[in-house]
Chain A
Amino acid sequence: MARRKAASKDPLSQAFGWLSTGVGTVQALSPARMCSAVGVRPTPGSTALMRAVGMQELAVGTGILAQPQRAGLLWTRVAGDVAHLTLLGVALQSADRDRRIAGLIPVRRSDGSDRRRVARTVAAVLGVTLLDLAAAVRLSRADQDNGSLRARSSLTVNRPAEEVYRQWRDLEKLPEFMAHLESVRTTGNGRSHWVARAPAGRTVEWDAEIVDERPNELIAWRSVDPATVPNAGKVIFAPVRDGRATEMTVELEYHPPGGKVGKAVATLLGEDPQQQLRDDLRRFKQVIETGEVVRSDGSPDGTITQRLLRQRPAQPPS
């Protein structure tokens, strides 16, 4: 799945999280008092409604606190504000006409102070609504999801960095352990032609070039325009265990055609680049350490996570 960089905890949305949680708690625990406070007569009907509103506020509040970067939850607050304004509007009207509306929100009729209370509540909620709107819009704009699929994975290989680098740099050998690649052909000048398996049994082809290369440290490549599926990748090597082993970190990014919609379709078709990358790295480690992709009777094609739950019985293949 695309790994969106989590927006740093937006203080405004955090504040709203606390506000919703706080108000919701009071509404749920002391609905009668809250009714009076906003100028509505506390009856079984209105207290039940207030309690329900309180539960909803609590849910939204805790949701925002748990995931302050999710713009969607702030939009839920806006929707809630509109609903509350509607209810308060009804309360105001019934104060005017001195009758029950929908049998739910009777208002004390005395010196009008309750009508003023309702009016004050409406003003307050209106103000909060505008703030909520602003925060929701701001967070939505900060959403960086542009439909790209990203994967990042790392693995330790029990070989010195020179050997691991050499194995990677031989791009034509990549299909040996990267299951979705059919072939890679170097065409000179740091360029290569790649053919990959795509969802629904098709293939995708593109040209790529090495954009950065530091022996035993880094290889970075990028597809050359125009590519049907623009993509880029990078692998970094770091020696560990006194140089006897290497930490290898791979980052891949690709843009399926169709932006966000294309990405959703790709996901639905079972493409999980993160998982595929981890499988690829496991197979790379097997090949470079043991000389072969490890196969069992249950997994005769080696490590493929998507097939884990649909294994054939552990018997020799016929």
Chain B
Amino acid sequence: MKATCWMGSNHVEVQQVPDPKILSPRDAIVKITSTAICGSDLHLYGHYVPTMRKGDILGHEFMGEIVEVGSGVNNLQVGDRVVVPFPIACGNCIACESEMYSLCENSNPNAALAEKLWGFSPAAIFGYSHMLGGYAGGQAEYARVPFADVGPIKIEDDLSDEQVLFLSDILPTGYMGAEMCDITPGDVIAVWGAGPVGQFAAASAFLLGAERVIVIDRFDERLRMVRENTRAETLNYEDVDGGIPSTLKEMTAGRGPDACIDAVGMEAHHAVLPLHAYDKAKQLTRLQTERPHALREAIMSCRSGGTVSVVGVYGGLLDKFPMGAVVNRSLTITAGQCHVHRYLRPLLERIRNGEIDPSFVITHRMALDDAPQGYEMIKHKQDDCVKVVLRP
């Protein structure tokens, strides 16, 4: 089959690789009909994440049709249409039973690698380095889905691929980002990042009862997208006088947003060139692995006693963290890789009801063969690119 393979820093190729086979009774094989490139794939593309090997198949947002099931899978049949969540969860460990599916204790056979970096290993993820399992990803024609009796959700409605594909990752991620803010009526929520996760975080914040949502980015087309699809207000940090924290303070008459969502993560960009250069230099010399501008700003902007909700991806260690602000102002920092399985059914319900149509973030549709082009496009945000969907 064809698959998008990581071949080195800033280098992916679509290659012929063996078809996946059932290895365990709880496996299923999915014939992929739609798959997407994620912003976090760029961290692999730019080789910010260690433990990549040449030839690794990328991709963790995919859906398609079941073509084979293992003997232990009773809830799915050949021909079923499914969306597959990006974390691989067994459903049996303490973490899975507590609905913290992205913390599954069993799915990562390479747990010792992740433990070295993070103390414990989280769940494995499709196509996201050997540290997180070494599983082949879904930017391909077929994929083996372990624990298929736990993960995939069956789509029985007359909904297009584009309407449900993002249940795999970005829609629940944005939703969980908003949910972690513990929104109460009247709340003002600020979102850093107007990429697909930021778009869905803003939309979800409104669904969860926020009064106002302010989205921050530097790309006008992304800010326009969020204004057109939600009630959000926007700030372009390159045009704003006096910096984001003081602007947000003014917009809230001195109290600050009640919660701040970081939907940017480790490859943040900063308007102030020396600061950006400092963080970039430290990143290149491996003295820190992250560029946490958005996170620092979110902390400085947040109302005292408020919540900073982190769904942007971080990998290792960061520098110059405003811990003083966190402690002295009673901030709550809540973070996590999305426990997708928890949100599949409720969010599918909302899509069915027309409360949200996630397809609005798609700007480009390509054939799987054009994946290398898609990566370049997303990386450099060419042609107002926000989300690329690939068709095998």
Contact = CB atoms under 8 A, between A and B. Distances in A.
Contacts of A290: 26, 90-93, 106, 147
A46 B368 CA distance: 77
A316 B97 CA distance: 29
Interface in A205-235: none
B108 to A, nearest CB: 8
Contacts of B130: 298-299, 308, 311, 314
Nearest to A292: B24
Contacts of B144: 297, 316
A85 B129 CA distance: 60
A241 B109 CA distance: 25
| Interface size, A (range) | 20 to 34
A245 B98 CA distance: 13
B21 interface: yes
Q: How large is the interface on B (under 10, 10 to 19, 20 to 34, 35 or more residues)?
A: 35 or more
Interface stretch (A59-67, A101-109, A281-289): A281-289
Nearest to B97: A158
Interface string B7-18: 000000000011
A12 B106 CA distance: 49
B26 A296 contact: no
Nearest to A317: B18
Contacts, number: 117
A296 B135 contact: yes
A317 B105 CA distance: 24
A314 B134 contact: yes
A156 interface: yes
Interface stretch (B110-118, B183-191, B243-251, B271-279): B110-118
B24 A289 contact: no
A285 B105 CA distance: 9
A175 interface: no
A297 B55 CA distance: 11
A11 interface: no
Interface in B135-176: 135-137, 144, 146-147
Given A158-B97, A308-B110, A298 B53 contact: yes
Contact of A314 (B92, B113, B136): B136
A97 interface: no
Interface in A278-318: 278, 282, 285-286, 289-292, 294-300, 302-303, 305, 308, 311-318
A202 to B, nearest CB: 27
Contact of B18 (A291, A298, A315): A315
A316 B136 contact: yes
Contacts of B5: 313, 315
B20 A316 contact: yes
A313 B111 contact: no
B255 to A, nearest CB: 42
Q: Which of B26, B56, B144 has the most CB of A within 10 A?
A: B56
B55 A296 contact: no
Given A156-B94, A315-B57, A316-B144, A286 B135 contact: no
B19 to A, nearest CB: 6
A291 B93 CA distance: 11
A190 to B, nearest CB: 32
Contacts of B113: 308
Contacts of B24: 292, 294-295
Contacts of B23: 295, 300
A313 B55 CA distance: 5
A304 to B, nearest CB: 8
B109 A297 contact: no
B55 A315 contact: yes
A313 B56 contact: yes
Contacts of B79: none
A316 B133 contact: no
Contact of A297 (B25, B54, B93, B134): B134
Contact of A298 (B3, B112, B133): B133
B264 to A, nearest CB: 27
Nearest to A285: B106
Nearest to B144: A316
A290 B147 CA distance: 9
Contacts of A299: 109-110, 130, 133-134
Interface string A126-149: 000000000000000000000000
B256 interface: no
A296 B110 contact: yes
A292 B91 CA distance: 13
Given A314-B53, A314-B136, A294 B18 contact: no
B178 interface: no
B68 to A, nearest CB: 13
Contacts of B135: 296-298, 314
A297 B24 CA distance: 12
Given A291-B72, A292-B25, A296-B133, A158 B110 contact: no
B56 A315 contact: yes
B110 A311 contact: yes
A36 to B, nearest CB: 48
Given A290-B147, A291-B72, A315-B18, A303 B111 contact: yes
Interface of A: 156, 158, 241, 245, 278, 282, 285-286, 289-292, 294-300, 302-303, 305, 308, 311-318
Given A302-B109, A308-B113, A315-B57, 14 more contacts: A156-B94, A158-B92, A158-B94, A289-B92, A290-B91, A296-B109, A297-B135, A299-B110, A305-B112, A311-B134, A313-B54, A314-B56, A316-B21, A316-B136
14 contacts: A158-B94, A290-B106, A295-B109, A296-B134, A297-B144, A298-B56, A298-B135, A299-B110, A303-B110, A311-B110, A313-B55, A314-B137, A315-B55, A315-B136
The 6 closest A-B pairs by CB, nearest first: A298-B134, A313-B55, A316-B20, A314-B56, A299-B109, A289-B92
